[in-house]
Amino acid sequence: MSNAAAHQTSFQDRIQQIAPYAILVLFALWTLVPIVWMLISSLKIRTSMFTMPPDLIFDPTLRYYQELLFGANPLTKYLMNSAIVSVSSAVIAVSLGTLGGTDSRIEMSGKKHLAFWIISTRMAPIAVVIVPLFFIYNFLGLLNTYLGLIIAYTTFNLPFAIWLMRSFFDEIPEELEEAAQIDGATRWQAFYKVALPLVLPGMGATAIISIVFAWNDFLFALIFTNSETQTIPVAAAQLVTQTGTLWGQVMAIGVVILLPMVLFGMIVKNYLVSGLTMGAMKQ
């Protein structure tokens, strides 16, 4: 091989080694720069928020956070509403999804078609079901209630929870439960004491995804709630007024919406990683 060919081969090898890291760096910048910009802007006064080039050295202010948290209409109520409906719907979805995911243990014809039908119900856009759900909720008296939001979020999270938990149960050998039954355990005891502890990481990952969906939802919360039950994304939309957008408060409330999910994700990241990789592992 000539020196030129060897040099070209070496250059191509270096490109192949560097390319994945370059892509990851670009993706990280694409993801993090808007978040950092939002955080910095929430600490600036309005006049310096849109200066170009941006001011990187400035006197930070907590004015917008103080207005949001201690003003005439504090965010604490909206944060509490979001926490109640998000956690409640996630608990219900994961509980029912765990029970529904055990269908992988049942031998029946058309089981694969049933699994596809379950997940296909999650593919419908939220806008498609808003109008019929509104009339149903109005008839049942579920408008402007926590229960109405919890049911809506559970309805959309449950197919995804069943699909995920089904894949997690598929990774657990049925022989473990059969061995427990041979030792005298009932089918329920084998499920509760043997299979369920093994899928706890999967349950954690499913719960995280369900909570994030409910926490970030805007359309359901906008249509089905009033001032007493509105969630934090709806409160953020109210900062766009007829006289203009309150950009300082918008940036601050964006940080307030993002921060709990970031902290929550950091606390349960081990469950999330192990749960999501569990379905890809082969026993």
Residue 282 has pLDDT above 50, yes or no: no
- Residue 283: pLDDT band by 50, 70, 90 thresholds? very low
Domain ranges of the chain: 3-41, 64-278
At 281, is the pLDDT very low, low, confident or very high (cuts 50, 70, 90)? very low
What is the rounded average pLDDT for all residues in the chain? 80
pLDDT of 166-219, one tens digit each?
878 877 777 777 787 787 777 777 777 888 888 887 888 888 888 988 998 888
Q: Return the higher-pLDDT residue of 275 and 133.
A: 133
What pLDDT shows up at residue 6? 53
- pLDDT tens per residue across span 224-249: 988 888 899 998 888 887 777 788 88
Is 72's pLDDT higher than 80? Answer: no
pLDDT band at 44; cut points 50, 70, 90: confident
- Higher pLDDT: 117 or 2? It is 117
What was the pLDDT predicted at 154?
A: 92
Give the pLDDT band of residue 55 (cuts 50, 70, 90). Answer: confident
Give percent of the chain with pLDDT exceeding 90.
13
Confidence category of residue 82, pLDDT binned at 50, 70, 90: very high
Six-digit token string for 175: 């022989």
Tell me the average pLDDT across 24-38.
Answer: 85
Band of residue 7 on the pLDDT scale cut at 50, 70, 90: low
Render pLDDT for 242-275 as a digit per residue (tens, 0 to 9): 777 788 888 889 888 888 888 777 776 666 555 5
pTM attached to this predicted model: 0.78
Among 109, 255, 62, 87, which residue's Cα sits nearest to residue 157?
87
Q: CATH classification of 64-278, choosing from 3.40.50.300, 1.10.10.10, 3.40.50.720, 1.10.3720.10?
A: 1.10.3720.10
- Whether pLDDT at 23 is above 80: yes
